[in-house]
A and B are shown apart, each in its own frame.
Chain A
Amino acid sequence: EVQLVESGGGLVQPGGSLRLSCAASGFTFSSYSMNWVRQAPGKGLEWVSYISSSSSAIYYADSVKGRFTISRDNAKNSLYLQMNSLRDEDTAVYYCARFFPGMDVWGQGTTVTVSS
């Protein structure tokens, strides 16, 4: 079964850091580009970051550029999002999504809450 499972979310204070992980299974992870997408409580979807299959191309939304870092380990079938200098407005459910084109496989999401 094709599956993505996120982990690493939690409660963190403003200015703090968190590292999200996304474990892939059921497909050849190294052949696909990946994305992180987030959704604040009661709000719409917001694209966060993209990484190509070989990590040669990486892009970020302006709202997280310079604070978040996307990476992957194809040997471990895993995608990561290092989040630094977290702000209240980063509070959201964070999804990892496979790029097909179109994001055709999504994880269940992991919740990040930034609050003092």
Chain B
Amino acid sequence: QSALTQPASVSGSPGQSITISCTGASSDVGGYNYVSWYQQHPGKAPKLMIYDVSNRPSGVSNRFSGSKSGNTASLTISGLQAEDEAGYYCSSYTSRSTVVFGGGTKLTVL
């Protein structure tokens, strides 16, 4: 199972919005509404930010939103803040009943 495709890095200034893409196939992202997004700061465990494409767990800021079109899912962060600087990973359920992660995107807040 190949990893989902994410850009290696994105950047934005405080207050701006950025979008991270996550491209898979019809056997994973495109076939199921089971895409999740995780934030990971250096040396820390990942944190769930979005589940089932567009749902936010309790306690996650509404500045984070998710969507999907075809085989590509997206995470949008609006009103960028310094603390948003971190690694971001998407994941998807697959047709083989497994889970696949994206390669990760490093977000830099300029």
Contact = CB atoms under 8 A, between A and B. Distances in A.
A59 B97 contact: yes
B51 A44 contact: no
Contacts of A103: 36, 38, 46, 48, 91
Contacts of A108: 45
Nearest to B47: A106
A50 interface: yes
Interface string B41-55: 000011110111001
B48 to A, nearest CB: 5
B1 A44 contact: no
A101 B103 contact: no
B99 A50 contact: yes
A62 interface: yes
B24 interface: no
A107 interface: yes
Interface of B: 1, 3, 34, 36, 38, 40, 45-48, 50-52, 55, 57, 87, 89, 91, 96-104
